[in-house]
Amino acid sequence: MHGVINPATEDVIASVAFASVEETDEAIARAHEALPSWRDMAPGERADLLRRFAAVVRAHEDDLASLEITNSGHTVGNARAEAQLVAKTMDYYAGGPERLFGKQIPVPGGVDVTFHEPVGVVGVIVPWNFPMTIAAWGFVPALAAGCTVVVKPAELTPLTAMALGEYAIEAGLPPGVLTVLPGAGPVVGQRFVDHPQVRKVVFTGSTAVGKQVMAGCAQQVKRVTLELGGKSANIVFADADVEKAAATAPYGVFDNAGQDCCARSRILVQRTAYDRFMELLEPAVKGVQVGDPRDPATEMGPLISRQQHERVASYVPADARVAFAGSCPSGPGFWFPPTVLQGSADDRSFREEIFGPVVTVVPFEDEADAVRMANDTVYGLSGSIWTRDVGRALRVSRAVEAGALSVNSHSSVRYWTPFGGFKESGLGRELGPDALESFTETKNVFISAD
Ligand code: NDP
The CATH number of the domain holding residue 183 is 3.40.605.10
Pairing status of strand 223-227 against strand 426-427: antiparallel
CB 112 within 8 A of CB 104: yes
With respect to residue 10, please indicate whether it lies within any of the assigned structural domains: yes
CA distance linking residue 293 with residue 256, whole number of Å: 10
CA distances from 326 to 73, 127, 252, 261, 265 (A): 18, 27, 15, 22, 16
Beta strands in 230-368 (DSSP E): 233-236, 266-270, 322-325, 339-342, 358-364
Mutate to test the pocket of ligand 1, among 125, 190, 203 (most ligand atoms within 8 A of CB): 125
Is there a single domain that holds both residue 371 and residue 357? yes
**205 CA to centre of ligand 1 in angstroms:** 4
Domain CATH for 348: 3.40.309.10
Contact residues of ligand 1, CB 6 A cut-off: 125-129, 152, 154-155, 184-186, 189-190, 193, 204-206, 209, 212-213, 227-229, 261, 311, 353, 355
* 280 inside domain: yes
- For the chain, helix (H) and strand (E) counts, in that order, are 14, 18
Q: What is the CB neighbour count within 10 angstroms for residue 278?
A: 18
DSSP state of 187: I
Residues 194 and 173 in one domain: yes
Say yes or no: 67 and 109 in one domain: yes
Q: What is the pLDDT of residue 411?
A: 86
Same domain, 163 and 269: no
Distance 212 CA to ligand 1 centre (A): 11
State the distance from the centre of ligand 1 to the C-alpha of 192, rounded, in angstroms: 15
pLDDT averaged over 10-residue windows placed end to end, the chain, 450 residues:
97 98 98 98 98 98 98 98 98 98 97 98 98 98 98 98 98 98 98 98 98 98 98 98 98 98 98 98 98 98 98 97 97 97 92 98 98 98 98 98 97 94 98 96 98
The Å distance, Cα 364 to ligand 1 centre, comes to 33
Separation CA 402–CA 414 (nearest Å) = 16
User: Is 296 in the same domain as 322?
Assistant: yes
Which atom of ligand 1 sits closest to the CA of residue 212?
Answer: 18
User: Strands 121-125 and 110-118: what pairing?
Assistant: unpaired
Per-residue pLDDT, 136: 98
183 and 237 belong to one structural domain:
no
Of 326, 318, 209, the closest CA to residue 258 belongs to: 326
The residues annotated with a catalytic role in the active site are: 227
pLDDT computed for residue 331 by the predictor: 85
Q: For ligand 1, atom 12, which residue shows the shortest CA distance?
A: 185
**In this structure, are 309 and 389 located in the same domain?**
yes
Q: Which atom of ligand 1 is nearest to 260's Cα?
A: 40
In angstroms, the CA 350 to CA 370 distance is: 14
Same domain flag for 397 and 428 = no
The pLDDT value recorded for residue 72 is 98
Is residue 282 domain-resident? yes
Is 187 in the same domain as 251? no
Tell whether 309 and 238 lie within a shared domain.
Answer: yes
The pLDDT score that the predictor gives to residue 243 is 98
Considering the domain architecture, whether residues 301 and 196 belong to the same structural domain is answered as no
In a domain, 418, yes or no: no
pLDDT given at position 412: 79
Task: Note whether residue 413 is domain-resident.
Answer: no
> What letters, b where the CB count within 10 A reaches 16 and e where it falls short, cover 251-265?
ebbbbbbbbbbbbbb
424: CB partners within 8 A, 6+ apart: 207, 228, 229, 378, 379, 380
Query: How many domains is the chain partitioned into structurally?
Result: 2
403 and 428, same domain (yes or no): no
Give me the domain span that covers residue 340: 233-407
